[in-house]
């Protein structure tokens, strides 16, 4: 999916100008006259960012920023304002904004901010997808394979795993192979790193 810029401004002429700028830079641009429904549009999405006017007709951009975060949106925000103050800027940046720019803004500065926001969001989405994928792999394990994994990351050998769990050594070896295959682990250190990310505690020999 193409990177998307959500342009939220109540000035139609400015929205159109920003849309043309984004599209000329190879970005998908979506215009919004207000922030209503923006959260829903940005929860499941391609790498994105939001160009948000601080002073919308019936909304405060800083309040919109807080509402988006409360709704679970993690899309980076770039603020645009015709009149900004230091407290405004501080509040926006503390809320996680990428940039706080004053209108009229230089195209190069705006595009630079957009590119930084898209890059940051791409990296965040990659991390989130990897986390979900790892959790899904863990869910594919049977209860016995969970037990075996805990023993493996605890440094137990096949014979020790068999004794710990009351199974045969051959069965322990088969379960261990299944764990490595299902988790996509190429080595024991690789499996240990995955377990750390998932918060799985090692089971050591008693």
Residue 206 covered by a domain: no
| Co-location of 28 and 108 in the same domain | yes
Give the chain's residues under pLDDT 70: 43-44, 205-206
Angle between helices 107-139 and 188-198 (to 10 degrees): 100
CATH number, residue 158? 1.10.10.10
| Co-location of 123 and 156 in the same domain | no
Residue 59 covered by a domain: yes
Burial class (CB in 10 A: 0-12, 13-18, 19+), 18: buried
Cα–Cα nearest to 45, from 76, 67, 18: 76
Query: What does pTM read for this prediction?
Result: 0.76
Tokens for 123?
Answer: 């990296």
| Co-location of 125 and 58 in the same domain | yes
Count of domains for the chain: 2
Determine the pLDDT at residue 205.
Answer: 66
């Amino acid at each position: 999916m193409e990177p998307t810029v959500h342009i939220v401004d109540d000035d139609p002429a400015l929205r159109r100008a920003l849309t043309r700028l984004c599209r000329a830079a190879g970005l998908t641009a979506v215009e919004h006259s207000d922030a209503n429904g923006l959260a829903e549009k940005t929860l499941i999405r391609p790498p994105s960012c939001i160009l948000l006017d601080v002073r919308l007709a019936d909304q405060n951009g800083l309040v919109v920023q807080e509402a988006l975060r409360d709704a679970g949106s993690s899309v980076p925000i770039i603020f645009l304002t015709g009149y900004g103050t230091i407290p405004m800027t501080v509040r926006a940046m503390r809320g996680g904004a990428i940039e706080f720019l004053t209108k009229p803004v230089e195209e190069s500065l705006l595009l630079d901010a957009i590119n930084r926001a898209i890059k940051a969001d791409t990296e965040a989405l990659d991390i989130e997808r990897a986390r979900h994928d790892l959790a899904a792999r863990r869910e594919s394990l049977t209860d016995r394979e969970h037990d075996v994994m805990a023993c493996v990351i605890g440094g137990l050998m096949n014979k020790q795993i068999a004794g710990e769990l009351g199974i045969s050594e051959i069965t322990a070896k088969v379960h261990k192979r299944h764990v490595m295959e299902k988790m996509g682990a190429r080595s024991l250190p690789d499996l240990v790193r995955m377990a750390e990310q998932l918060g799985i505690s090692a089971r050591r020999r008693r």
